[in-house]
Structure 1
Amino acid sequence: MKIPSAVTERLLLHPLSVDEAERVVAREPGADDRWAEGYPQDGDVRGVTGFLRGIAERGDPGVFRPYEIRLGGVAVGGIGFHGPPDDLGVVTVGYGVVPGERGKGYASEALRALVEIARVAGVAGVKGDADLDNPASHRVMEAAGMWCVAEDEKLRHFYRGF
């Protein structure tokens, strides 16, 4: 299944194929891969590993997959869905940008595009969470129209319904 890339003002969200995902997990770029210093991060590897496991168990998830955040053709981070919508029609999102590119609004821009992918795909809502001591990530989710709906001893939980 060929999933189109999403284009924002500055970024391209490139949907990962199985082959690309396997290279991310191995942390070994192919000849055509252009990765910024620090990519992939541990979170990228965990998310892509879950994607590969999901393909083996349930098949291709369509748009509900990981994407590379590309700036000028270079992967500067990852963003994506933790899997297809749950029984309530809600998807969970995760994201990260390499340290050298943080603070420039790329994560917020990419998350807005990912939320739009979810909305167009017909989900009921999008959720995500971040450590309490990560206010930058809280701001990213707020910039994408997500609201803090709960907080526990470790995490702040965000949600946006459609």
Structure 2
Amino acid sequence: MDDLVTERLVLHPMSAAEAERLLAPGPADAAAWAPGYPAEVDAIGARNFLSTCEETGDPQPFGAYEIRRRADGLAIGGLGFHGPADEDGSVTIGYGLIPSVRGEGYATEAVRALLRLAREHGVRSVRGDTAHDNVASQRVMTAAGLHLVAEDDQLKYYELSWT
């Protein structure tokens, strides 16, 4: 699978070897990462990705992606799918950035690219969720085209559907 390239970002499809390095980095890895990367959410994503690879094989294009800035090539976060499309053609996404780059539009740019990829691969709807107090993530999903469809005591649920 090739990298997804946007105006300011490269979304690099993670391999199992790269996910393992993220969990146990060496000195060379740190040189490719912005300070603060990987965050705990990136480690969780890498573990989930490795679990999926063990259970069903590499899920690409519906796997994990490392978010890199084109300007310097440094990894600043991650995003991806929680798995391949279900029987209804729906996928769930997640994303995160290191704190020092939040508020610069990178998350929205990355999510939009992921939505395009999903649509190109026949997905009919994309879902995401966020905590009630995570207003920044709510703005990202809204700016990327997802709509609030439900909420419960803990989360707000967003979705974008194509007919």
Bin for the TM-score computed over the shorter chain: over 0.9
Following superposition of structure 1 onto structure 2, how do residues 1-162 of structure 1 map, counting pairs within 5 Å? Answer: 3-26=1-24, 28-29=25-26, 31=28, 34-71=32-69, 72-162=72-162
CA offsets per residue over residues 116-162 of structure 1, 9 Å max, x none? 11110111110000000011000000111000000111110000012
- Whether the 8 Å contact between 2:13 and 2:60 is mirrored in structure 1 is no
What percentage of residue pairs aligned between the two structures are identical?
Answer: 52
- RMSD, aligned CA: 1.2
C-alpha distance in structure 2 between counterparts of 1:101 and 1:65, whole Å: 23
C-alpha distance in structure 2 between counterparts of 1:118 and 1:94, whole Å: 13
C-alpha distance in structure 2 between counterparts of 1:141 and 1:34, whole Å: 28
Q: Which moved more, 1:127-136 or 1:42-51?
A: 42-51
How much does 1:69 deviate? 0.7
Structure 1, unaligned runs of 5 or more: none
CA offsets per residue over residues 7-35 of structure 1, 9 Å max, x none? 11111101111110111122x14626601
C-alpha distance in structure 2 between counterparts of 1:100 and 1:148, whole Å: 27
TM-score by length of 1: 0.94
Q: Quick one: structure 1 residues 17 and 35, their matched pair in 2 at CA, closer, same or farther if it must change by over 3 Å?
A: same
Q: Could you list the runs of 4 or more consecutive aligned residues of structure 1 that deviate by over 3 angstroms after TM superposition? A: none
Aligned residues: 159
C-alpha distance in structure 1 between counterparts of 2:143 and 2:2, whole Å: 24
TM-score by length of 2: 0.93
- Whether the 8 Å contact between 2:68 and 2:75 is mirrored in structure 1 is yes
